Structure 1
Amino acid sequence: MVVGHFLRWMETARVAERAAAAAAMATAYIEGELAFEDRCAAEAALTLLLDDPSSKVRLSLADALSMSRHAPVQIIAALASDQPEVASLVLGRSPLLTDADLIDRVASGSGPIQRLIAARAGISMALSAAIAEVGEAEACRELLNNSSADIASLSFRRIAERLGDVAEVREAMLSDGRLPSDCRHTLLVKLGEALKTSPLVVAMMGAARAERVTREACVRSSLTLIENTPEVEFAALIEHLRIRGDLTASFLVRAVAHGKIDFFGCAVVALTGQSENRVRALLAGGQDVALASLFRKAGLSAAVHAVILKALKIWREVANGKRLAGAQEVSWMMLQELGPRNEPAELASLLKSIHLGALRENARGHALSIAAA
Structure 2
Amino acid sequence: MSVVQYFLKWIPRAKVSERVPAAAALARAYLRGDLPFEERLAAEAALTLLADDPSPQVRLALAEALSLSHKAPAQVVAALAGDQPEVAAPILIRSPILSDVDLVDLVAMGCAKIQALIASRPSVSMAVSAAVAEVGEVDACLALLRNGGAQIAGLSFRRMIERHGAHAAMRAALTGDRRLPSDCRHLLLVRAGAALSSAPFVLALVGHERAEKLTREACIRASITLVDATATNEHSALVEHLRLRGELTSGFLVRAVAHGKIDFFAAALVALTGARAARVHSILSGGRDGAVKALLGKAGLKQVTHLPIVAALKIWRQVANAERIAGPQEATWHMLKALEADAAAMGTPTGTALAGLLRRIHLEALRENARQQAQALAA
**CA drift at 1:89:** 2.4
Q: Note if 1:359 corresponds to 2:366.
A: yes
In the alignment, what sits opposite 1:238? 239
* One-letter code aligned to 1:354: I
Q: Note if 1:345 corresponds to 2:352.
A: yes
Q: Note if 1:11 corresponds to 2:18.
A: no
**CA drift at 1:39:** 2.3
Report the Cα distance in structure 2 between the residues aligned to 1:244 and 1:159, rounded to whole angstroms: 18
**CA drift at 1:316:** 0.8
Instruction: Give runs of aligned pairs for residues 1-373 of structure 1, distance below 5 A.
Output: 1-339=2-340, 341=343, 342=348, 343=350, 345-372=352-379
Q: Report the more deviating stretch, 267-276 or 48-57.
A: 48-57
Report the Cα distance in structure 1 between the residues aligned to 2:86 and 2:315, rounded to whole angstroms: 66
Query: Are 1:257 and 1:331, in contact at CA under 8 Å, matched by a contact in 2?
Result: yes
Query: Are 1:303 and 1:344, in contact at CA under 8 Å, matched by a contact in 2?
Result: no
Report the Cα distance in structure 2 between the residues aligned to 1:114 and 1:328, rounded to whole angstroms: 50
- TM (norm. structure 1) is 0.97
Partner SS, residue 13 of structure 2: coil
Report the Cα distance in structure 2 between the residues aligned to 1:267 and 1:76, rounded to whole angstroms: 53
**CA drift at 1:206:** 2.5
Report the Cα distance in structure 2 between the residues aligned to 1:318 and 1:50, rounded to whole angstroms: 71
Residue by residue over 1:88-143, the C-alpha shift from the partner in whole angstroms, topping out at 9 and shown as x without a partner, is 22112211100000000111111111011001111011111111111111111110
- What are the ranges of 5 or more consecutive residues in structure 2 without an aligned counterpart? none
Query: Are 1:181 and 1:229, in contact at CA under 8 Å, matched by a contact in 2?
Result: yes
Report the Cα distance in structure 1 between the residues aligned to 2:371 and 2:34, rounded to whole angstroms: 71
Identity rate, percent: 58
Query: Are 2:23 and 2:62, in contact at CA under 8 Å, matched by a contact in 1?
Result: yes
* One-letter code aligned to 1:323: R
Q: Report the more deviating stretch, 158-167 or 92-101.
A: 158-167
**CA drift at 1:32:** 3.1
**CA drift at 1:220:** 1.5
Report the Cα distance in structure 2 between the residues aligned to 1:249 and 1:344, rounded to whole angstroms: 17
**CA drift at 1:33:** 4.4
Query: Are 2:304 and 2:339, in contact at CA under 8 Å, matched by a contact in 1?
Result: no
Partner SS, residue 339 of structure 1: helix
Query: Are 2:251 and 2:357, in contact at CA under 8 Å, matched by a contact in 1?
Result: yes
- TM (norm. structure 2) is 0.95
Query: Are 2:16 and 2:58, in contact at CA under 8 Å, matched by a contact in 1?
Result: yes
Partner SS, residue 367 of structure 1: helix
Residue by residue over 1:149-197, the C-alpha shift from the partner in whole angstroms, topping out at 9 and shown as x without a partner, is 0111111112112211111111111100000011011111111111111
Q: Report the more deviating stretch, 107-116 or 206-215.
A: 206-215
Query: Are 2:203 and 2:211, in contact at CA under 8 Å, matched by a contact in 1?
Result: yes
Report the Cα distance in structure 2 between the residues aligned to 1:101 and 1:332, rounded to whole angstroms: 62
Query: Are 2:270 and 2:276, in contact at CA under 8 Å, matched by a contact in 1?
Result: yes
- In the alignment of these two chains, the number of paired residues is 372
**CA drift at 1:344:** 5.6
Q: Report the more deviating stretch, 198-207 or 128-137.
A: 198-207
Q: Report the more deviating stretch, 64-73 or 109-118.
A: 64-73
Q: Aligned-residue CA RMSD in angstroms?
A: 1.3
* One-letter code aligned to 1:279: V
Report the Cα distance in structure 2 between the residues aligned to 1:55 and 1:209, rounded to whole angstroms: 57
* One-letter code aligned to 1:369: A
Report the Cα distance in structure 2 between the residues aligned to 1:22 and 1:161, rounded to whole angstroms: 45
**CA drift at 1:339:** 2.0
